[in-house]
Amino acid sequence: MDLSEQIRQLAHRKHAVIMGHYYQRDEVQEVADFIGDSLALARQAAKTDADIIVMCGVHFMAETAKILCPDKKVLIPDATAGCSLADSCTADQLRRWKQSHPDHLVVSYVNTSAAVKALTDIVVTSGNALHIVQQLPTDRPILFGPDRNLGRYIIEQTGREMTLWDGCCHVHARFSADTLHRLRERYPNAPVLAHPECKQDILDQADVKGSTAALLHYVKAHPEQKQMIIVTENGVIHEMQKACPDVEFIWEENVCEYMRQNTLEKLYACLRDETPEVTVDPNISAQAITCIQRMLDLS
Ligand code: 13P
Ligand code: SF4
């Protein structure tokens, strides 16, 4: 029996659900019960009846699942799978920022630690940020963090002023505007699909901007396109290619080292030994749940 089959059997026996983000390795995506973007993973965690959630993603995603399901065991194949963007704003830094802007609403991207969420008024993902920010009271100024690129994109799309934290995702910041320019010249009929964590010089060249799920949705809705240029972590192309096998996807090589720390071997060991487990301090969890629940209610 191959490793994927052993994982499936173990998950079934333990009544565990395996969730995976689109940026996971192809073989991890294939073995998961459910794959999705950050928003879909949070929604799925909120409604699962499994006893164990194995989050094949990065640490903040497992924390979010634990906050939503405090009575369930939440596992992650590699506990050191972090996120440079989440690390760019600590709870102490956010506390000081809030103190210097006492009248502001705090809107945080889901790519943040549980401790940062505990200091947040409302969480957003790239899949619902525009929709949620448009619903916020107009008489309150907004602090948005930690991703300055997503923040700038929200301001441009909604016209809502926000003060931005100066953080970014090192993976999306690595995409080169010159490389994209050359790809566009070489494939003039291919639309460019980019994630809003990309820098402005990339987004300026994009035809479609959105979360991983939104980009996948566009791909599925346009099977007539012969070629498409994808500017986000390369893992999402696996699902795109499965959905549209006849489309030629073009991309610059770029993967998130944190996401790729989860392997089938670590997933098997994690299910077998029920470790590493992700826990959240109950006091932090009790505060953080409010801003996550607000997001789920408004999205
Ligand atoms: P989405 O899946 O919400 O688009 O997020 C991208 C990301 O960087 C997750 O870490
Ligand atoms: Fe974090 Fe960027 Fe990796 Fe997403 S792709 S987990 S934002 S470092």
Res 223 pLDDT > 90: no
Q: What is the pLDDT of residues 152-181, one digit of tens each?
A: 999 999 999 999 999 999 999 999 999 999
For ligand 2, whether the C-beta of 215 sits within 6 Å is no
Task: Give the largest Cα separation in the chain, rounded.
Answer: 61
Task: Supply the DSSP string of 181-201, one letter for each residue.
Answer: HHHHHHSTTSPEEE-TTS-HH
Residue nearest to atom 6 of ligand 2 (CA): 83
Q: Which residue's alpha carbon is at the smallest distance from atom 10 of ligand 1? A: 111
CA-based nearest residue to 227, from 270, 194, 192: 192
For helices 264-273 and 3-13, the axis angle rounded to 10 degrees is: 30
Report pLDDT for 1: 84
The bound ligand whose nearest atom lies closest to the alpha carbon of 172 is 2
pLDDT over threshold 90, residue 63: yes
| Ligand with minimal distance to 233 CA | 2
| Cβ of 111 below 6 Å from ligand 1 | yes
Structure tokens at 250: 């073009």
The mean predicted confidence, pLDDT, of the chain is 97
pLDDT in tens, 234-244: 999 999 999 99
- Residue whose CA lies nearest to ligand 2 atom number 5: 256
pLDDT band at 102 (very low <50, low <70, confident <90, very high): very high
Q: What is the pLDDT of residue 71?
A: 96
Measured in residues, the chain has a length of 299
- Of all atoms in ligand 1, which is nearest to the CA of residue 22? 2
pLDDT in tens, 108-132: 999 999 999 999 999 999 999 999 9
Q: Which residues have CB under 8 Å from 132's CB, separation 6+?
A: 107, 122, 124, 295, 298, 299
Task: Indicate the angle between helix axes 59-68 and 282-298, nearest 10 degrees.
Answer: 90
Q: From ligand 1's centre to the CA of 13, what distance in Å?
A: 30
Q: How far is the centre of ligand 2, averaged over its atoms, from the C-alpha of 251 (Å)?
A: 17
- Between the CA of 280 and the centroid of ligand 2 the distance, in Å, is 21
Distance 213 CA to ligand 1 centre (A): 9
Using most ligand atoms within 8 A of CB, pick from 169, 197, 261, 262 the residue to mutate for ligand 2: 169
Q: Tell how far the Cα of 10 is from the centroid of ligand 1, in angstroms.
A: 28
Rounded to 5 degrees, what are φ and ψ at 135?
-95, -5
* pLDDT at residue number 76: 98
pLDDT of residue 181: 98
Instruction: Return d(Cα 136, Cα 236) in angstroms, integer.
Output: 31
The predicted-structure confidence for 83-93, as pLDDT tens digits, reads as follows: 999 999 999 99
| Beta carbon of 211 within 6 Å of any ligand 1 atom | yes
What is the C-alpha separation between 137 and 144, in angstroms, rounded?
Answer: 15
Amino acid 235: pLDDT: 98
